[in-house]
Chains A and B, each alone.
Chain A
């Protein structure tokens, strides 16, 4: 069936370095993608989104890249900080009611 998945389950980076979290999706008809950050015991927090008519979108310290040719999505975090430590999920909008399909998640650990 259709699914959204992640290449790396865990990622450990040094404080100040850039982080890249990857996601593969399989539904070529998907037109909206979102990255969420989830800290332990909390709900997902919206980070950034992108529509399929765009290749790149930038926010504050974060950039999302979309490669529709290979159905790949990535989240780049610049100058990673300890507060960025969390699990990051990509999500794909699916269905007529706008429900999201979540990937497995990547745990980002930032070493001071």
Chain B
């Protein structure tokens, strides 16, 4: 089946620093990738939709200057949390849509803890 990886799986950083999270589709090409955020015992909330070669589309309330998204190739999208603060601590999950299908495959998630 289709595999999506994320790196790192967890990260701890100091307040004010930036953190980059990578999302890769390992065995398929994804023209569209999605970034979600999930707080404990809550559902996934879509942050942004990332299209290869174009600017990401952000959901209402998500700061595009704080959460930088780059989708440079058909297999890689990155999310950079800039000037992270403790309230940014969360579980960040990406998904990738296989070209020609509607199915989204999710990565294993990245646990971000900002001290």
Residues of A within 8 A of B (CB): 32, 34, 36, 41-46, 49, 89, 93, 95, 97-105
Shortest beta-carbon distance from A103 to chain B in Å: 7
Say whether A41 contacts B109, CB under 8 Å.
yes
Contact of A43 among B32, B51, B102, B106 (CB under 8 A): B106
Q: Which label, helix, strand, loop or mixed, suits the secondary structure of the B interface?
A: strand
Q: Is B44 an interface residue (CB 8 A)?
A: yes
**Cβ < 8 Å to A, chain B residues 21-64:** 32, 34, 42-46, 49, 51, 57
What is the size, in residues, of chain B's interface with A at 8 Å between Cβ atoms?
Answer: 25
Say whether A89 contacts B43, CB under 8 Å.
yes
Q: Which label, helix, strand, loop or mixed, suits the secondary structure of the A interface?
A: strand
Say whether A97 contacts B106, CB under 8 Å.
no
Give 25 pairs: A residue, B residue, CB < 8 Å, sorted on A.
A36-B106, A41-B91, A43-B4, A43-B6, A43-B93, A43-B107, A43-B109, A44-B93, A44-B95, A44-B106, A46-B104, A46-B105, A49-B103, A93-B102, A95-B49, A98-B97, A98-B102, A99-B46, A99-B49, A100-B46, A100-B104, A102-B44, A102-B45, A104-B42, A105-B43
